[in-house]
């Protein structure tokens, strides 16, 4: 049997590289298409030409379309309504969908590689439910806390001067809740500088149970208005997003997501086992700690502004892995692109299926993710994994 020579290996490596580039290019086209459809489709229709013209005007380049080009009968012509809907509602919403979808997907892919478990996702280590508990406490107890601060210290975060703080109380609480939850889980699973993956998973299950109990208690003591806000937030939604909210969380979401994508070599080495990866020169404990903290940052910041959106981190990496294999150099960036696209289309469906009402986006992702999860279990059992 003849062995592969250098001349044989080079074409194979080139084919893999070309295939990787083609897949990423197709996913990028899908993302751009989803973005264009998302900002243009809805109760107020905005054509691609109008979108382009509005963006040029917002960038101060409106003089490029002058004269007959932007006449009343031109395809470029737009009114004040279209401009307001695009810039104030749909554009920030679409950008947030891209950020959150990419963050949840790459977080799921990173955790699946770290735990070498195809059923891992960001909710596994308690990030989502921890953030949800903190946000629920803010919704239910926030008015009482505001009254106490006003009476005790003369501080009112609802005044005009403090309005930015008031608008950020809920996202900040959710973000801190996710970080605290992850820190507690990690501390339980760490001993003598070593992190046991099995203990980490079990601690995450326990933290999810504790957070769920806390949320249930808050639901029980909430009034009607708080209950409506709480239920809608816990089911996930991109509604009500503003540029201020995006700017406050975008550095955390984008920075953590990009940083996770840089761990592709580490995760590829971990596929061989921790001992083998350590022999290859990788710092295993530092890798575990870094990935867990980055997942907490990306997921916690996402949950802070959208609520709990499940199954994106589970479904997207699997779809990529089934078509492209387990190489994290492709898996991580492809998951980011596909996750962003999936979130765009899910949000589009959420706000157009039951007009003029809006479905919580978490319901749609669960409708897809739940059956997919069951299929994974059946498939794994059939292959003798469990």
In this prediction, residue 325 carries a pLDDT of 82
Residue 3 has pLDDT above 90, yes or no: no
Contact indicator for 309, 362 with CB cutoff of 8 Å: yes
At 152, is the pLDDT very low, low, confident or very high (cuts 50, 70, 90)? low
> What does the pLDDT look like over 283-297, one tens digit per residue?
888 998 899 889 988
More confident residue, 324 or 100: 100
pTM: 0.84
More confident residue, 152 or 31: 31
In this prediction, residue 94 carries a pLDDT of 94
More confident residue, 255 or 126: 255
More confident residue, 321 or 102: 102
At 331, is the pLDDT very low, low, confident or very high (cuts 50, 70, 90)? very high
Nearest to 297 by CA among 334, 329, 250, 232: 250
At 8, is the pLDDT very low, low, confident or very high (cuts 50, 70, 90)? low
> What does the pLDDT look like over 12-55, one tens digit per residue?
667 777 888 888 999 999 999 999 999 988 878 888 888 888 88
Contact indicator for 288, 114 with CB cutoff of 8 Å: yes
In this prediction, residue 162 carries a pLDDT of 39
CA distance 386 to 384: 5
CA distance 37 to 90: 11
Residue 323 has pLDDT above 60, yes or no: yes
Residue 257 has pLDDT above 90, yes or no: yes
> And the tokens for 144?
């009482």
In this prediction, residue 165 carries a pLDDT of 46
For the chain, give the percent of residues with pLDDT over 90. Answer: 24
In this prediction, residue 7 carries a pLDDT of 54
CA distance 74 to 90: 23
Q: Which domains does the chain have, with CATH numbers?
A: 88-382 (1.10.3470.10)
In this prediction, residue 144 carries a pLDDT of 60
In this prediction, residue 271 carries a pLDDT of 87
In this prediction, residue 71 carries a pLDDT of 52
CA distance 316 to 324: 12
In this prediction, residue 194 carries a pLDDT of 65
Q: Span 81-89, mean pLDDT? A: 88
Contact indicator for 177, 134 with CB cutoff of 8 Å: yes
């Amino acid at each position: 049997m003849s062995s592969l020579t250098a001349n044989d290996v080079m074409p194979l490596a080139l084919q893999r590289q070309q295939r990787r580039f083609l897949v990423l290019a197709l996913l990028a086209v899908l993302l751009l298409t989803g973005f264009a459809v998302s900002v243009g489709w809805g109760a107020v229709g905005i054509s691609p030409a109008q979108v382009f013209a509005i963006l040029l005007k917002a960038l101060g380049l409106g003089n490029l379309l002058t004269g007959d080009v932007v006449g009343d009968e031109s395809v470029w012509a737009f009114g004040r309504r279209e401009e307001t809907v695009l810039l104030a509602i749909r554009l920030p919403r679409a950008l947030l969908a891209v950020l959150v979808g990419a963050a949840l997907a790459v977080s799921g892919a990173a955790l699946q590689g770290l735990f070498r478990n195809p059923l891992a996702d960001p909710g596994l280590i308690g990030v989502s439910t921890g953030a949800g508990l903190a946000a629920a406490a803010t919704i239910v107890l926030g008015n009482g806390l505001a009254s106490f601060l006003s009476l005790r210290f003369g501080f009112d975060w609802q005044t005009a001067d403090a309005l930015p703080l008031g608008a950020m109380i809920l996202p900040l609480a959710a973000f801190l809740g996710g970080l605290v939850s992850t820190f507690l889980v990690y501390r339980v699973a760490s001993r003598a500088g070593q992190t046991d993956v099995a203990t980490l998973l079990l601690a995450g299950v326990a933290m999810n149970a504790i957070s769920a109990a806390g949320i249930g208690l808050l639901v029980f003591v909430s009034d009607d208005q708080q209950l409506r806000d709480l239920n809608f937030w816990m089911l996930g939604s991109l509604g009500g997003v503003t540029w201020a909210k995006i700017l406050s969380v975008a550095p955390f979401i984008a920075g953590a997501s990009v940083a996770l994508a840089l761990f592709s070599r580490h995760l590829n080495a971990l596929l061989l086992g921790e001992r083998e990866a350590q022999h290859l020169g990788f710092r295993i404990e530092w890798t575990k700690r870094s990935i867990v903290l980055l997942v907490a940052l990306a997921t916690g910041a996402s949950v802070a502004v959208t609520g709990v959106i499940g199954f994106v981190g589970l479904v997207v990496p699997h779809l990529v892995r089934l078509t492209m294999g387990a190489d994290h150099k492709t898996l991580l960036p492809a998951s980011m692109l596909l996750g962003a696209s999936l979130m765009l289309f899910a949000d589009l469906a959420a706000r157009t299926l039951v007009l003029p009402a809006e479905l919580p986006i978490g319901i749609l992702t669960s409708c897809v993710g739940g059956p997919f999860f069951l299929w994974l279990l059946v498939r794994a059992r059939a292959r003798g994994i469990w």
